Chain A
Amino acid sequence: MPFAGIDIGSLTAEAVIVDQGEIIQYTICSTGSNSRKAADKVMKLALQRAGLVLADIEYLVATGYGRVNIEFADKRITEITCHGRGAYFWNPEVRTVIDIGGQDSKVIRLNDKGRVVDFAMNDKCAAGTGRFLEVMAHALEVELAGLSELSDKAINAVSISSMCTVFAESEVVSLIARGLPREDIARGLHQSIAERTAGLVKRVGLEERVMMTGGVACNSAVVRALNEKLNTLIIIPSEPQIAGALGAALLAEEEFTS
């Protein structure tokens, strides 16, 4: 019996279909301005690829900030619980999950059963998140995917003192105007994200092993800076963006069978 999880984030939407605790299909789309439409689209695609229709899904859990808008969901669970469950599925040794998504970042502590025992989230701003990187990539005139590569070529890291996305963008613009190398600025930006995230990790305390989920986990420069900052080796799953939807799908199966 197939079960599904759907994660409507601020920038991307994901759907995962599982059966007997195994992923059988997943999709990632951009959310756009209508989270309801994004949910329909991402679910339809995942079903198509799996050769299923919505009626085949026994139980569906929605998560992410758009979870309340998904009418076809049987249950809604927060992204904190879902990311924790997804990460634990990939590696049951994980006790700390760092999730940096489009507009928020969170650190989740798990127990040996994969249950959330503590968590911390960023303040109500997008500093140090995917949106932050998007704005900075734009200011540096580079594709988001090329930001990490650009920073790899840096000789020094420029210190970025503003945490706020809007102020940091002005700071970057003025650094460019001063003629500082874009590479060095890019590295500075990645380090500033790592510093901010490390602060969040300290709030709940780090316990090995650590996994990173969410879109920003795809940025290798951030991961490297975080490894240094936290003095650990963060596990990066093959598809970090689907952790929330995966956790939701697994919780759907657990919920139904219990």
Chain B
Amino acid sequence: MTVNDQPANNVNGSTELNEDEIRRIKTKTGKPVIGYICCFAPPEIISAAGAIPYRITGKPGKDTSSADAYSEPYGCTYVRNILARAVEGKYDFLDGLVISHSCDMVQRLYGIWTYYHPLPYSYLFNVPHQLTPWAQRFYKRELGFFRESLEKFTGQDVPDQKLSNEIISYNKNRDIIRRLLKQRKEKPPRLEGSEIFELLLAGGTLPVDSFNRLLSEKEVQFASRRPVNGNKPRIMIWGSIIDDPALFKIIEEAGGAVVADDTCIGFRVWEKDIPVTADPYDGLTEHYFVNFQCPRTDRGPGIKRFDYLLERAREYDVDGIVGYCISFCDPHKFDYPDLRDYLKKEGLPMLLIDDNYSFEPEEAIKTRLQAFLEMF
């Protein structure tokens, strides 16, 4: 069932607006909504099983005290934020929850959430930390288990052809996104990084066809924009989960242009098509596991991940990298010292913003970013 009667421009990176939209679509279609965190459990499978995938996002800076009773003090502020919103009923439209074991904290979030508030459907998606052939087989098998559990919940079979069609639909969106990303190569870019990022955020929270209409509308709007003059330092963002455009906007207000990113809601998910393979699970494994550059997966010595970042920094002619780390985000914190040295050798300066998923105190963050931009 498609939802074609609603203009797509009422959705953007705003969490509230997208939540309203998903409630509306749910009522209209009668489909269950399944929330997910991290990309390892592919939304394509959820959609093929007749449910609506919804990427759960937090709200940086919100009071998280309602999560205190459930979470240990060492829990990261991102997970606390999501948990607080769950306690407050902000995700009450969810019929299901799937969390992949991307890091220990999100796995704990799954445990706490489903223990205190069992949902009609919940699934913990296991993801190996290595990329060995056996690990890849493990991941692929996990995709199969996930499909089976969804089939049981929605009562709809997911034959391979149906899944392949779903992948093709999602890839159509990737096609438009690639065209938009390309525009960021302009100097200076006509599109703000935050505008594109808001779109990508919307992509996680909308059904594939609604997202397609939104992208098509935006592409037409963007095409009529006039070129702008002046030079701005070209910045790339790397780091922990960024599910709010705040950091993009702070950089833009300080006079920079965010032209690329290496983050899990940005480039990593959207810039490349999911390979359409005879066995669709092979393509999904390649896209979401083998090539997905999250530091929670060990890539061994040589660190291919950094090459990935550098390749994009060069492609988009980046002047400097802004790193964003949420306190206690070990996978990213472990990478940072090596990444910084690696980039230094390549002549790319890097600034790290340590944050509690709040972008506060704003003035201190602004000063660091402004000083960094003054270097160029």
Residues in A lying within 8 Å of B, measured CB to CB: 65, 77-81, 104, 115-119, 121, 123-124
Contact = CB atoms under 8 A, between A and B. Distances in A.
A159 to B, nearest CB: 27
5 contacts: A78-B371, A116-B371, A119-B372, A121-B364, A124-B361
Contacts of B307: none
Interface in B327-376: 349, 354, 361, 363-364, 367-368, 370-372, 374-375
Nearest 9 A/B pairs, CB to CB: A80-B371, A78-B371, A81-B374, A78-B370, A116-B375, A78-B367, A124-B364, A124-B361, A81-B371
A80 B374 contact: yes
A119 B349 CA distance: 10
Contacts of A77: 374
B363 A119 contact: no
Contacts of B374: 77-78, 80-81, 116
A115 B361 CA distance: 27
A65 B367 contact: yes
A79 B375 CA distance: 13
Nearest to B361: A124
B368 A121 contact: yes
Given A78-B370, A123-B354, A115 B375 contact: yes
Contacts of A65: 363, 367
A119 B361 contact: no
A185 to B, nearest CB: 30
B10 to A, nearest CB: 34
Contacts of B361: 124
Nearest to B355: A124
A115 B354 CA distance: 25
Nearest to A78: B371
Contacts of A119: 371-372
A117 B367 contact: no
Contacts of A79: 367, 371
Nearest to B352: A120
A63 to B, nearest CB: 10
Nearest to A77: B374
A118 B320 CA distance: 11
B361 to A, nearest CB: 6
Given A119-B371, A119-B372, 17 more contacts: A78-B367, A78-B370, A79-B367, A79-B371, A80-B367, A80-B371, A80-B374, A81-B371, A81-B375, A104-B364, A116-B375, A117-B375, A118-B349, A121-B364, A121-B367, A121-B368, A124-B364
Chain A CB within 10 Å, residue with most, of B361, B363, B374: B374
A77 B367 CA distance: 9
A252 to B, nearest CB: 14
Nearest to B373: A78
Contacts of B372: 119
Contacts of A124: 361, 364
Contacts of B370: 78
Nearest to A205: B344
Contacts of B349: 117-118
A78 B367 CA distance: 6
Contacts of A121: 364, 367-368
Nearest to A118: B349
Contacts of B354: 123
A119 B370 CA distance: 12
Nearest to B344: A118
A78 B368 CA distance: 8
A151 B348 CA distance: 43
Contacts of B367: 65, 78-80, 121
B256 to A, nearest CB: 13
Contacts of B371: 78-81, 116, 119
A118 B354 CA distance: 16
